[in-house]
Amino acid sequence: MSFETPLPPYNASDPHATFLNSSCFDLLLIEMVPFAYRLAEQLTVERSGGNTQVDEEVQREAVFRRLDALGYRVGQGLVERFSRDRPRFTDTLDMIKFLCKDIWTLVFRKQIDNLKTNHRGVYVLTDHSFRPFARMSMSSASEALARVQPFLWFPCGIIRGALASMGIEATVQAETAELPGATFQIKTITSKS
């Protein structure tokens, strides 16, 4: 998959050549969160037998689970497709670098700006101009920071899914201090043998 304009000659018969309109992808990312909220509300009302009172925390948790699961599957698929022609990764740091450089570029059209690690299973990925936040604006900064958190759940799922596909079980937390930046903290879970 590529966001770049195809260079001539473009071979339409190439089964691996797929292109995606970047503005359509941006709109999809923007609409995923409101759609997940509408779906969670609809399912909650159906399960409660028509009771229109929806617990906000339950709804938020359902939206989180749905967006994280969607991102998880996307992350798995991206790694399956784009790591098949690469040599096997030797360590966790190589896998994280692949995520920061290649996978992030495929999804958000830029690499992660900063990667930090404590070499004990904790990695901090910083994107100073996170693409889904680039066009967001609110009346106040505090309102913006409160409303952007659900937009980080899908990318968290992408990270978890990509790492799981490479054999790393991890938890991912995301936060933003100011728009359009985002910080993702990855904690790998070591298996107890």
State residue 193's pLDDT score: 47
Q: What are the pLDDT digits (tens) for 60-79?
A: 999 999 999 999 999 999 99
Alpha carbons 26 and 106: distance in angstroms, whole number: 13
pLDDT score of 127 more than 50 = yes
State residue 4's pLDDT score: 56
State residue 129's pLDDT score: 92
Task: Tell me how far CA of residue 6 lies from CA of 11, 22, 24, 120, in angstroms.
Answer: 9, 13, 17, 42
State residue 188's pLDDT score: 94
pLDDT: which is higher, 26 or 112 = 112
pLDDT score of 12 more than 60 = no
Alpha carbons 79 and 68: distance in angstroms, whole number: 16
List, edge to edge, every strand of the sheet that includes 182-188: 114-117, 122-127, 182-188, 170-175
pLDDT score of 192 more than 80 = no
Q: What are the pLDDT digits (tens) for 18-71?
A: 666 778 888 888 899 999 999 988 888 788 776 767 688 888 999 999 999 999
Mean model confidence pLDDT for the chain: 85
pLDDT: which is higher, 5 or 53 = 53
Q: What would the mean pLDDT of 189-193 be, rounded to a whole number?
A: 64
In the three-class reduction of DSSP (H, G, I as helix; E, B as strand; rest coil), residue 187 is classed as: strand
Alpha helices by DSSP H, the chain: 22-47, 56-82, 92-98, 104-108, 141-148, 153-165
Least Cα distance to 79 among 165, 170, 172, 3 occurs for 165
